[in-house]
Structure 1
Amino acid sequence: MAAITAVLARYPEDIIRDATHPATGLPIRCDFLPSVAEVYRECEARMQPRRIAWAVEERRVKQLQERAEFERRFGRRR
Protein backbone atom coordinates (compact mmCIF):
# COMPACT_ATOMS: atom_id res chain seq x y z
CA MET A 1 0.00 0.00 0.00
CA ALA A 2 2.87 2.38 0.70
CA ALA A 3 4.15 2.01 -2.86
CA ILE A 4 0.70 2.68 -4.34
CA THR A 5 0.33 5.70 -2.07
CA ALA A 6 3.71 6.98 -3.27
CA VAL A 7 2.63 6.59 -6.90
CA LEU A 8 -0.70 8.32 -6.33
CA ALA A 9 0.97 11.20 -4.49
CA ARG A 10 2.62 12.24 -7.77
CA TYR A 11 -0.72 13.08 -9.43
CA PRO A 12 -3.37 15.77 -9.06
CA GLU A 13 -6.37 15.00 -6.90
CA ASP A 14 -8.79 14.68 -9.82
CA ILE A 15 -6.56 12.07 -11.52
CA ILE A 16 -6.38 10.08 -8.29
CA ARG A 17 -10.14 10.31 -7.83
CA ASP A 18 -10.83 9.18 -11.42
CA ALA A 19 -8.27 6.37 -11.35
CA THR A 20 -9.59 4.96 -8.08
CA HIS A 21 -13.32 5.54 -8.64
CA PRO A 22 -15.19 2.25 -8.02
CA ALA A 23 -17.45 2.61 -11.05
CA THR A 24 -15.03 3.95 -13.67
CA GLY A 25 -11.48 3.47 -12.44
CA LEU A 26 -9.16 0.59 -11.66
CA PRO A 27 -11.49 -1.20 -9.22
CA ILE A 28 -13.91 -2.06 -12.02
CA ARG A 29 -11.12 -3.63 -14.11
CA CYS A 30 -9.13 -5.46 -11.44
CA ASP A 31 -10.16 -8.71 -9.75
CA PHE A 32 -7.97 -7.94 -6.77
CA LEU A 33 -6.03 -4.97 -5.52
CA PRO A 34 -4.19 -3.40 -8.45
CA SER A 35 -0.45 -3.67 -8.64
CA VAL A 36 1.79 -0.64 -8.34
CA ALA A 37 2.45 -0.87 -12.07
CA GLU A 38 -1.28 -0.95 -12.87
CA VAL A 39 -1.89 2.13 -10.73
CA TYR A 40 1.00 3.92 -12.43
CA ARG A 41 -0.19 3.01 -15.95
CA GLU A 42 -3.75 4.08 -15.15
CA CYS A 43 -2.65 7.46 -13.79
CA GLU A 44 -0.28 8.03 -16.70
CA ALA A 45 -3.02 7.21 -19.21
CA ARG A 46 -5.34 9.69 -17.51
CA MET A 47 -2.61 12.36 -17.46
CA GLN A 48 -1.72 11.99 -21.16
CA PRO A 49 -4.47 14.27 -22.55
CA ARG A 50 -3.56 16.93 -19.99
CA ARG A 51 0.14 16.73 -20.89
CA ILE A 52 -0.69 17.03 -24.58
CA ALA A 53 -2.83 20.11 -23.88
CA TRP A 54 0.00 21.64 -21.82
CA ALA A 55 2.49 21.01 -24.63
CA VAL A 56 0.18 22.55 -27.22
CA GLU A 57 -0.32 25.61 -25.04
CA GLU A 58 3.42 25.90 -24.42
CA ARG A 59 4.10 25.80 -28.18
CA ARG A 60 1.36 28.37 -28.80
CA VAL A 61 2.81 30.77 -26.25
CA LYS A 62 6.31 30.30 -27.66
CA GLN A 63 5.11 30.98 -31.20
CA LEU A 64 3.34 34.15 -30.08
CA GLN A 65 6.48 35.32 -28.27
CA GLU A 66 8.62 34.59 -31.33
CA ARG A 67 6.19 36.42 -33.57
CA ALA A 68 6.12 39.44 -31.23
CA GLU A 69 9.93 39.47 -31.18
CA PHE A 70 10.08 39.23 -34.98
CA GLU A 71 7.61 42.09 -35.38
CA ARG A 72 9.52 44.16 -32.81
CA ARG A 73 12.76 43.67 -34.69
CA PHE A 74 11.55 43.86 -38.27
CA GLY A 75 8.18 45.58 -38.10
CA ARG A 76 4.91 44.25 -39.37
CA ARG A 77 5.09 42.98 -42.92
CA ARG A 78 2.15 42.53 -45.19
Structure 2
Amino acid sequence: MAAITAVLARYPEDVIRDATHPATGLPIRCDFLPSVAEVYRECEARMQPRRLAEAAEARRMRQLRERAEFEQRFGRKR
Protein backbone atom coordinates (compact mmCIF):
# COMPACT_ATOMS: atom_id res chain seq x y z
CA MET A 1 0.00 0.00 0.00
CA ALA A 2 2.88 2.39 0.70
CA ALA A 3 4.11 2.07 -2.88
CA ILE A 4 0.65 2.75 -4.32
CA THR A 5 0.30 5.74 -2.00
CA ALA A 6 3.66 7.04 -3.21
CA VAL A 7 2.56 6.70 -6.84
CA LEU A 8 -0.78 8.42 -6.22
CA ALA A 9 0.91 11.27 -4.36
CA ARG A 10 2.53 12.36 -7.64
CA TYR A 11 -0.82 13.21 -9.26
CA PRO A 12 -3.48 15.89 -8.83
CA GLU A 13 -6.47 15.10 -6.64
CA ASP A 14 -8.90 14.81 -9.56
CA VAL A 15 -6.70 12.20 -11.28
CA ILE A 16 -6.49 10.18 -8.07
CA ARG A 17 -10.24 10.41 -7.59
CA ASP A 18 -10.95 9.32 -11.19
CA ALA A 19 -8.39 6.51 -11.18
CA THR A 20 -9.70 5.05 -7.93
CA HIS A 21 -13.43 5.63 -8.49
CA PRO A 22 -15.27 2.32 -7.93
CA ALA A 23 -17.55 2.72 -10.95
CA THR A 24 -15.17 4.15 -13.54
CA GLY A 25 -11.59 3.63 -12.33
CA LEU A 26 -9.27 0.75 -11.61
CA PRO A 27 -11.61 -1.10 -9.22
CA ILE A 28 -13.99 -1.92 -12.06
CA ARG A 29 -11.18 -3.43 -14.15
CA CYS A 30 -9.22 -5.32 -11.50
CA ASP A 31 -10.29 -8.56 -9.83
CA PHE A 32 -8.05 -7.86 -6.86
CA LEU A 33 -6.05 -4.92 -5.60
CA PRO A 34 -4.24 -3.31 -8.52
CA SER A 35 -0.49 -3.55 -8.74
CA VAL A 36 1.72 -0.50 -8.40
CA ALA A 37 2.35 -0.65 -12.15
CA GLU A 38 -1.39 -0.74 -12.90
CA VAL A 39 -1.98 2.31 -10.71
CA TYR A 40 0.88 4.14 -12.41
CA ARG A 41 -0.37 3.30 -15.92
CA GLU A 42 -3.92 4.34 -15.05
CA CYS A 43 -2.81 7.69 -13.64
CA GLU A 44 -0.49 8.33 -16.59
CA ALA A 45 -3.30 7.56 -19.04
CA ARG A 46 -5.57 10.01 -17.22
CA MET A 47 -2.84 12.68 -17.26
CA GLN A 48 -2.13 12.36 -20.99
CA PRO A 49 -4.97 14.63 -22.23
CA ARG A 50 -4.01 17.27 -19.67
CA ARG A 51 -0.36 17.16 -20.70
CA LEU A 52 -1.28 17.42 -24.38
CA ALA A 53 -3.53 20.42 -23.68
CA GLU A 54 -0.81 22.11 -21.61
CA ALA A 55 1.74 21.55 -24.37
CA ALA A 56 -0.64 22.96 -26.98
CA GLU A 57 -1.29 26.02 -24.80
CA ALA A 58 2.45 26.53 -24.30
CA ARG A 59 2.98 26.37 -28.08
CA ARG A 60 0.15 28.84 -28.64
CA MET A 61 1.56 31.27 -26.10
CA ARG A 62 5.05 30.97 -27.61
CA GLN A 63 3.66 31.69 -31.08
CA LEU A 64 1.77 34.75 -29.82
CA ARG A 65 4.90 36.01 -28.06
CA GLU A 66 7.02 35.47 -31.18
CA ARG A 67 4.44 37.23 -33.33
CA ALA A 68 4.33 40.21 -30.97
CA GLU A 69 8.14 40.40 -30.99
CA PHE A 70 8.18 40.20 -34.79
CA GLU A 71 5.56 42.94 -35.13
CA GLN A 72 7.41 45.11 -32.65
CA ARG A 73 10.66 44.65 -34.50
CA PHE A 74 9.42 44.93 -38.09
CA GLY A 75 6.11 46.73 -37.66
CA ARG A 76 2.68 45.47 -38.36
CA LYS A 77 1.92 44.77 -42.04
CA ARG A 78 -1.34 46.16 -43.36
Same structural fold, with TM-score higher than 0.5 when normalized by the shorter chain: yes
Separation in 2, partners of 1:72, 1:6: 48
- 1:7-28 Cα deviation digits (max 9, x unpaired): 0000000000000000000000
CA shift digits 1:7-57 (9 cap, x unpaired): 000000000000000000000000000000000000000000000000000
Residue of structure 2 equivalent to 1:15 = 15
Structure 1 moving runs of 4+ over 2 Å: none
- Between the two proteins, the alignment pairs up a number of residues equal to 78
Identity of aligned residues (%): 87
Match of 2:41 in 1: 41
Segments of 5+ residues of structure 1 without an aligned counterpart are: none
Q: Distance in 1 between matches of 2:22 and 2:47?
A: 19
Task: Report the TM-score when normalising by structure 2.
Answer: 0.98
Tell me how far apart the structure 1 counterparts of residues 77 and 6 of structure 2 sit (CA, whole Å): 54
Q: Structure 2: which 5+ residue stretches go unaligned?
A: none
* C-alpha RMSD of matched pairs (Å): 0.5
Normalised by the length of structure 1, the TM-score is 0.98
